[in-house]
Structures are given as C-alpha cells and as structure tokens.
C-alpha cells in the first residue's frame, strides 16, 4: 500500500498562474481532505469530501476549488495563484470508523512569487 | 467557534519526561488526538483518547484527559532525540462531524 500520495512535491508559480495538486489514496477511504500549513498557524482545512462526487468548504476555501470524480483521487485547484497561497499543502484521507483517524500525505510545498 | 490551544515550544533534556499540554473548547468532542510531524513530513497519528476516558497509556506515552477543564496532555517518558518533532493536539468538532480541529502545534526539541 502506498497510502496517501501527493503530486507534485514542490512547485513555484508566478502570481496569476494556475495549477492542480493531485492527491491519491489506495486505502478505499470515503473521506478526503485538503489542508494548508503555515508557520505558527497549525493546519487549516481548505475543502473536504465525504464521498465520490461530493465536496464541501472548510475553514479557508477562498481561492481554491476541488473535485472528487473518483473515490481514490481528490484534486485541489488554484485558478489564479496569489502570494498569500504560498504554503505547504497536505492531503489526508480516512473513514468514520476506526476512531476517525486521518492518514496524511507527505505534502506539497508551493511558492507563489 | 471551536478552538484548540497549545504552547508553541518545549525543550527537554534527553532521558527526561516531556509534557505537552492542550486546551479545547468543544464540550461535545468525541475523540481527541495527538499527531506527530517530523521535519519535512506529513502528520502521523501518535495516539488518541475517547472522551469517556480519563487516561490512556501506550508504552512511553501517557495521555491524560480532564473533561471538566477541557484539558488534554501528552507525556513522553524517557524522551529521546528521535522524539524531536511538532506535536499537534486535535479534536473532532462534535459527534457527527467529519472535521478535525488542530492546535497550532508544539515544537519539541530534545537536547542530547
């Protein structure tokens, strides 16, 4: 099992460019999440999904869009990147059983110039 | 809204015990968690405690939960240099929620 994988690991964008971060999980989890981690801010939830074809907003959704067309994949899109979106992005997946543990990917470090 | 607070830094000597503290506000929390993040990596679940428990022990780890004061602590016995990491406290936002609320993380530095 690869667990939760994220692509790419690093990316540098210019302001206004767009990109998509890919998250994949092979644990057949129903729930998937996108977080951003900033120094001194902990993890903040951007968007999440409770099943294929469904998405919902988290704490900081502005400037991001997501899609969950397949159960194993959760995509995070930035349509017009801004320097404020410079961050480390983590994807996670989990199920309601098993004490709601969330399994995290290794992260994507994004810099917007 | 719900909030999880923890101190940002802790420094201990190798072999001593570490105690990381956390306070939370959601009285309907069902599970509380401690996640560990090593440098350059994602978070890994270290341990968790169900809200009807007061204490949970797992090898060198002891979790204490004081529901009245909404206080959670993680004690690491015989702290090793490999325990140096950021430790996040987290809670489920209510019994029917899918979302975790994380604290800002406590960076534990172990001095050899």
Q: For testing the chain A interface, which of B4, B6, B20, B43 should be mutated: the one with the most A CBs within 10 Å?
A: B43
Position with higher pLDDT, A97 vs B8: B8
Given a cut of 60, whether residue B23 has pLDDT beyond it is yes
Tell me the nearest-neighbour CA distance from A40 into chain B, angstroms: 6
- Residues A11-28 pLDDT 10s: 999 999 999 999 999 999
Most B CBs within 10 A among A24, A40, A43, hence the mutation to make, goes to: A43
Please indicate whether, in this complex, the C-beta atoms of B42 and A105 are within 8 angstroms of each other: yes
Please tell me the predicted confidence (pLDDT) of residue A98: 63
Contact A102 B50 (CB under 8 A): no
> In chain A, what percentage of residues exceed pLDDT 90?
87
- Chain B neighbors of A42, CB-CB under 8 A: 88, 102-105
Over range B14-36, report the average pLDDT.
Answer: 91
Grade residue B95 by pLDDT with cuts at 50, 70 and 90: low
Smallest Cα distance from B2 to chain A, Å: 11
Over pLDDT 70: what percentage of chain B?
A: 94
Q: Which two tokens stand for residue A70?
A: 């397949």
* Contact between residue A67 and residue A75 where contact means Cβ atoms under 8 Å apart: yes
Q: How far is CA A48 from CA A40, A65, B99, in A?
A: 22, 10, 8
CA distance A46 to A96: 19
Of A17, A22, A110, the C-alpha closest to A67 is: A22
Q: Tell me the torsion sign for CA atoms B81, B19, B101, B55.
A: positive
As a whole number of angstroms, the distance between CA B57 and CA B77 comes to 11
CA distance B36 to chain A (A): 11
Residue B20 in tokens: 């990381």
**Beta-strand (E) ranges in B7-105?**
9-13, 18-24, 31-37, 43-50, 55-58, 61-66, 71-76, 85-92, 100-102
The half-sphere exposure of A86 on its side-chain side, counting CA atoms within 13 A, is 10
């Amino acid at each position: 099992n690869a667990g939760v994988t994220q692509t790419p690991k690093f990316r540098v964008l210019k302001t206004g460019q767009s990109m998509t971060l890919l998250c994949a999980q092979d644990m057949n989890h129903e729930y998937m999440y996108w977080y951003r981690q900033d120094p001194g801010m902990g993890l903040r939830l951007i968007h999440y999904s409770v099943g294929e074809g469904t998405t919902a907003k988290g704490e900081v959704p502005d400037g991001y869009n997501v899609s969950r067309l397949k159960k194993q994949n959760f995509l995070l899109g930035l349509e017009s990147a801004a320097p404020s979106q410079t961050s480390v992005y983590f994807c996670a997946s989990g199920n309601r059983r098993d004490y709601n543990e969330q399994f995290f990917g290794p992260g994507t470090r994004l810099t917007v110039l | 809204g719900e909030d999880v607070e923890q101190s940002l830094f802790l420094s201990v000597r190798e072999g001593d015990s570490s105690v990381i503290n956390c306070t939370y506000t959601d009285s309907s929390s069902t599970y509380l968690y401690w996640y560990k993040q090593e440098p350059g990596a994602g978070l890994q679940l270290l341990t968790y405690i169900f809200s009807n428990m007061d204490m949970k022990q797992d090898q060198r780890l002891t979790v204490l939960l004081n529901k009245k004061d909404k206080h959670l602590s993680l004690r690491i016995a015989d702290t090793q240099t490999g325990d140096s990491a950021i430790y996040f406290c987290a809670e489920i936002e209510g019994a029917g929620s899918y979302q975790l609320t994380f604290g800002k993380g406590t960076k534990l530095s172990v001095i050899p």
